[in-house]
C-alpha cells in the first residue's frame, strides 16, 4: 500500500521533510488516484490537519467511503517519524465523544511507548 493511503501514512508523511514528502507523493500520485481515488491535494490537506491538530484522519472520498480512522505519529527526539498508531472504524461509530476517547487512548499509549523506549529513540 503506497504512502498516502490511510491515516497512518498521513501521520508519517506529515513529519518528513518537504522534499522527501513531495518526492514520495509525486512518485505515488498516479497509483493513488487510479487505485484509491485519492488526489495529492487531498493528502496535503490532511497533512495540514495533522500538523494543526496533532492527529491524522483518512482522506475523505477514497474507495473506502464507509470507513474512517485516526492516527497518532510516533516521533523520535528530533521529530522524525518512527511509526504511527492507527485506528480504523465505521463512520457511523465516529461520534465526537468516541473520537475523543479513541484519540485520548492512543495519545496515552504512544506517550507510554515513547517513555518506555526513551533511551532507544536517540538514533543518529
Counting Cα atoms < 13 Å in the Cβ hemisphere of 26 gives 6
Going by CATH, does the domain composed of 7-118 fall within 3.40.50.2000? no
Digit-coded pLDDT (tens) for 23-48: 999 999 999 999 888 999 999 999 99
Chain position carrying cell 500520485? 29
Q: Quick one: average pLDDT of 100-119?
A: 88
Indicate the domain borders of the chain.
Answer: 7-118
Digit-coded pLDDT (tens) for 47-66: 999 999 999 987 776 666 67
Residues 6+ apart with CB under 8 A from 114: 74, 75, 121
Handedness of CA 34, 39, 40, 44 (dihedral sign): negative
CA–CA dist 115, 106 (Å, integer): 14
Beta strands in the chain (DSSP E): 56-57, 67-75, 81-90
Amino acid at each position: 500500500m503506497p504512502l498516502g493511503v490511510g491515516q497512518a501514512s498521513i501521520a508519517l508523511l506529515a513529519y518528513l521533510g518537504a522534499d522527501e514528502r513531495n518526492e514520495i507523493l509525486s512518485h505515488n500520485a498516479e497509483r493513488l488516484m487510479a487505485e484509491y481515488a485519492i488526489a495529492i491535494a487531498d493528502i496535503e490537506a490532511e497533512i495540514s490537519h495533522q500538523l494543526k491538530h496533532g492527529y491524522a484522519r483518512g482522506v475523505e472520498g477514497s474507495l473506502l467511503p464507509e470507513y474512517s480512522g485516526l492516527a497518532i505519529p510516533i516521533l523520535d527526539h528530533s521529530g522524525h517519524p518512527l511509526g504511527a498508531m492507527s485506528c480504523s472504524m465505521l463512520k457511523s461509530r465516529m461520534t465526537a465523544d468516541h473520537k475523543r476517547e479513541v484519540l485520548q487512548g492512543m495519545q496515552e499509549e504512544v506517550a507510554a511507548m515513547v517513555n518506555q523506549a526513551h533511551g532507544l529513540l536517540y538514533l543518529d
